[in-house]
Structure 1
Amino acid sequence: MLNLLSILLGLLSLVIVIPATIPLLGWANWLALPLIVLGVVVGQLSSTNGGRNFCLVVLLIAAIRLSIGGGLI
């Protein structure tokens, strides 16, 4: 059950992160980061690690986008 919740949080975060790759929308990554971290924590509590790994991939995408934009844009 926790794995499913982690995957849902990852999908919700991905819906926010994908449009945030557009220039001047990078600030949306800062909204997605708490959801991603929550998904990683919930995925860590699960017996399987698929949801946690998915959230970590989404976190990697958001972090790369933030580093390219200098953390703001």
Structure 2
Amino acid sequence: MNEFSFLSATMTVFYQTGFDEFNEPIIKSATYRNLADNVTATQIEAVAQALVRLTDYNYIESVKTQKEIVTK
């Protein structure tokens, strides 16, 4: 039977840096690699908000992307 095996995970943090000439929000992001396979949503949210608090920008959201490999 095939199974998934953890390969890697990243966290992308999205934040608003201001507005453009059409008054649309300017969204930027930062991606952090090498997340542990057992990181929780609460931990990701806490770290993402702490990172954005170090800036003058507004936090929008964070996304965890996980890659897994199919094993035989």
TM range (shorter): under 0.3
TM-score when scaled to structure 1?
0.27
| Larger-Rg structure | 2
The structure whose residues are more often strand, as a share, is 2
